[in-house]
Amino acid sequence: MTESAAITPLADLAAGTYVLDASHSEVGFVARHAMVTKVRGYFRELEGTITVADDFAASTATATMQVASIDSGSADRDGHLKSADFFDVENNPVITFASTGIKDVKGEEFTLVGDLTIKGVTRQVELAAEYEGTAQDPFGNIRAGFTARTDVDREDFGLTWNAALETGGVLVSKKVTLTLDLSAIKQA
């Protein structure tokens, strides 16, 4: 698709079920490390469904990420994140999200409200979301694109491991930014 290709606006998004295309979607996180830099990571295995209602504000979304698919670019760090110190993948293999509402729809932007469950703890989160458009791909699939982000306090989900730094501060920030870049295919 070129930059000038026509993209369907949110107001014209067709109602129906859209399934996430994991190979063209990304769920990531950003945390501060040693209080001086940012570390990014991704969950490589994810699945989800977006059910678009005639009234977009009544639409729903669900997603599941496999914690074992975490990829921060460091095998050692990934192993630590999978351990009981953090996600405890043996006992908590998935992270889930289930929307409970959509509000503040303004043009292509909206707030997606839902329940995020990490390590067996469920908290309500609000994601600043944006509809990126809908277009037909070369294979005839109708694709809808969405981006979203939110900040969470990892300690609210039982991810409390940390180490104090000699200079003050801690090794891993409490605040973690979650980012989503999603491509979903409309089902027949």
Among 4-13, 57-66, 72-81, 129-138, the minimum mean pLDDT is found in 4-13
Contact 123, 154 (CB under 8 A): no
Single pTM value for the model: 0.88
Question: Is the pLDDT score of 170 beyond 80?
Answer: no
Nearest to 80 by CA among 178, 177, 162: 162
Mind listing the pLDDT tens digit for each residue in 85-107?
889 999 999 999 999 999 999 99
Q: Is residue 2 very low, low, confident or very high in pLDDT (cuts 50, 70, 90)?
A: very low
Contact 63, 48 (CB under 8 A): yes
Q: Is residue 4 part of a domain?
A: no
Structural domain total, the chain: 1
Q: Is residue 3 part of a domain?
A: no
Q: Is residue 172 part of a domain?
A: yes
What average pLDDT does the segment 159-180 reach?
66
Using the structure block, give the residue that is written with the tokens 């496999």.
Answer: 66
Q: Is residue 5 part of a domain?
A: no
Q: Is residue 119 part of a domain?
A: yes
Q: Is residue 96 part of a domain?
A: yes
Mean pLDDT computed over every residue of the chain: 88
Which CATH number goes with the domain that contains 27? 2.40.128.110
Q: Is residue 138 part of a domain?
A: yes
C-alpha–C-alpha distance, residues 177 and 31, integer Å: 7
Q: Is residue 159 part of a domain?
A: yes
Domain span at residue 25?
10-186
